[in-house]
């Protein structure tokens, strides 16, 4: 019998979230971001389920794109960071993936190549995040060179990325929009990540690029009215494997960080940081046991956690435990862990099986 841990994937929730994205940006094409193993959900499963309902996918590297092609994905795939080495150009063209061009070196590789077919390029513009891309004043020059080289297909897209679109009060987003709108040549555009798709309608342009919201999560800490109907795709579950009565004053787990304030019942659950449950989770982090709220009691071990179930009814060996999912928001667990929901799912290791529960 296998360990009972599962990252359960609800693919109808995924499709529902894509429909919401389309409804909010009805005139834009949708590029679904599935890098980092689809934010830990399982890239082949997610991309396979998405490819008929989106216009393109985005990943971080040629290896991620090749894995998707191997799994039967045929729709366009953009490499968000472009090529890391000139030698990848031939593979990219064979795999028929789209390239980001974010610097001079990448453009020179493209211009100097002898490709059998031109590749579609997305020109990355740095409008103020200062992470990747060419500055708006150089964009026309780069665009003209892409138009001139026979190795770039017609229809280059200019795109940018927001630093703070999840913070509606942050003035940086409007400054980035203004910088992007200063491009004074005719080109298709893309800017919106999930936060901008949800909350900044002027940023939808020809393409939107949601990731996080497709997995059913809202990037805004305080939520957003447009995100209310999002449905979480992943439910992380495990089970109780031991129950202990602990006297008041006794401690639980490594370092004895949790001390019983009253006679308590502690359930040991077979999931730990080796399975994707964050070690940083604090005492008190909410956990659902038998559908009822309980709290983490003691440090997270590699393969186990301990949960205070003193007030939870009908707990026995084998009782189901939910670490996050529709009834226990990822964002809430992330707050107790001093991180963001993006990181919690993305860190999920292969050890935890991804199981499609609702195709
Ligand atoms: C360039 C780019 N576009 C779009 C996205 C999607 O962002 P989100 O998951 O917040 O929707 C990302 C994710 O980091 C990204 O790096």
Q: What is the CATH number of the domain that holds 68?
A: 3.20.20.10
For ligand 1, the distance from its centroid to the CA atom of residue 180, given in whole angstroms, is: 17
Q: How far apart, in whole angstroms, are the C-alpha atoms of residue 66 and residue 86?
A: 17
Q: Is residue 229 part of a domain?
A: no
Mean pLDDT for the stretch of residues 61-86: 97
The single residue listed with the structure tokens 């995040």 is: 129
Q: Which is the closest atom of ligand 1 to the Cα of 35?
A: 13
How high is the pLDDT of residue 231?
98
Placement of tokens 């940081």 in the chain: 273
| Catalytic residue check, 35 | yes
Q: So what's the pLDDT on residue 1?
A: 66
From CA 99, how far away is CA 121, in angstroms rounded? 5
Show the tokens assigned to 26: 């009805």
* 2 falls within a domain: no
Task: Single out the residue in 189, 221, 253 at which a domain terminates.
Answer: 221
Q: What is the CA radius of gyration of the chain?
A: 23
Tens-digit pLDDT profile for residues 149-159 = 999 999 999 99
Both tokens assigned to 37? 């193993």
Query: CB of 79 closer than 6 A to ligand 1?
Result: no
Q: How confident is the model at residue 245 (pLDDT cuts 50, 70, 90)?
A: very high
Catalytic residue among 29, 35, 39, 159: 35
Instruction: Answer yes or no: are the C-beta atoms of 159 and 125 closer than 8 Å.
Output: yes
**Which of 33, 167, 197, 213 to mutate to test ligand 1, by most ligand atoms within 8 A of the CB atom?**
33
DSSP states along 220-287: STT--GGGTT----EEEEEEEEEEEEE-TT-EESGGG-EE-SSSEEEEEES--GGGT--TTPPTT-EE
* Same structural domain, 183 and 269: no
How many independent structural domains does the chain possess? 2
Q: Are residues 181 and 268 in the same domain?
A: no
Q: What percent of the chain has pLDDT over 90?
A: 98
Residues 51 and 114 in one domain: yes
Q: pLDDT tens for residues 272-294?
A: 999 999 999 999 999 999 999 99
In terms of domains, do 35 and 149 share one? yes
pLDDT digits (tens, 9 = 90+) for 28-58: 999 999 999 999 999 999 999 999 999 999 9
Same domain, 212 and 262: no
Average pLDDT over residues 330-351: 98
Task: Answer yes or no: is pLDDT of 179 > 70.
Answer: yes
Q: Both tokens of residue 40?
A: 């830990």
Asked if residue 161 has its Cβ within 6 Å of ligand 1, the reply is yes
Q: pLDDT tens for residues 101-118? A: 999 999 999 999 999 999
Per-residue pLDDT band for 268 (boundaries 50, 70, 90) equals very high
- Domain holding 194, by residue range, is 11-221
Note if 277 is an active site residue.
no
- pLDDT at residue 359, rounded to an integer: 75
Sign of CA dihedral 14, 18, 24, 25: positive
In this structure, the answer to whether residues 153 and 259 fall within a common structural domain is: no
**189 and 249 inside one domain:** no
What is the CATH number for 339?
A: 2.40.37.10
- Of 191, 221, 251, which residue is a domain's last? 221
pTM over 0.75: yes
């Amino acid at each position: 019998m296998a360990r009972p841990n599962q990252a359960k994937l609800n693919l109808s929730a995924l499709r529902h979230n894509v429909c919401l994205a389309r409804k909010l940006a009805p005139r834009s094409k949708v590029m679904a971001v599935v890098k980092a193993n689809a934010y830990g959900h399982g890239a082949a499963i997610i991309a396979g389920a998405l490819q008929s309902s989106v216009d393109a996918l985005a990943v971080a590297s040629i290896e991620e794109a090749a894995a998707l092609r191997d799994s039967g994905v045929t729709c366009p795939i953009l490499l968000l960071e472009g090529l890391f080495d000139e030698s990848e150009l031939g593979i990219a063209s064979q795999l028929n993936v789209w390239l980001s061009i974010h610097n001079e070196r990448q453009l020179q590789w493209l211009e100097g190549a002898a490709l059998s077919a031109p590749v579609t390029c997305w020109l990355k513009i740095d409008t103020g995040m200062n992470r990747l891309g060419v500055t708006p004043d150089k964009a026309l020059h780069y665009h003209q060179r892409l138009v001139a080289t026979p190795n770039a297909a017609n229809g280059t897209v200019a795109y940018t990325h927001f630093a703070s679109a999840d913070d509606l009060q942050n003035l940086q987003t409007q400054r980035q929009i203004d910088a992007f709108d200063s491009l004074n040549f005719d080109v298709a555009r893309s800017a919106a990540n999930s936060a901008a798709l949800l909350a900044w309608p002027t940023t939808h342009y020809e393409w939107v690029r949601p990731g996080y919201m497709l997995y059913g999560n809202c990037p805004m800490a305080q939520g957003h009215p447009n995100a209310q109907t999002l449905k979480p795709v992943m439910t992380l579950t495990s089970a109780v494997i031991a129950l202990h009565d602990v006297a008041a004053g006794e401690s639980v787990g490594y370092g004895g960080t949790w001390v019983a304030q009253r006679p308590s019942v502690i359930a040991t659950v077979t999931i730990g940081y080796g399975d994707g449950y964050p070690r940083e989770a604090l005492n008190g982090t909410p956990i659902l046991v038998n559908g009822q709220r309980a709290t983490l009691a003691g440090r997270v071990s590699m393969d186990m956690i301990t949960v205070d179930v003193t007030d939870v009814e009908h707990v026995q060996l084998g009782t189901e435990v939910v670490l996050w999912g529709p009834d226990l928001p990822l964002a809430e667990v992330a707050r107790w862990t001093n991180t963001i929901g993006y990181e919690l799912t993305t860190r999920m290791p292969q050890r935890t099986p991804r199981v499609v529960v609702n195709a």
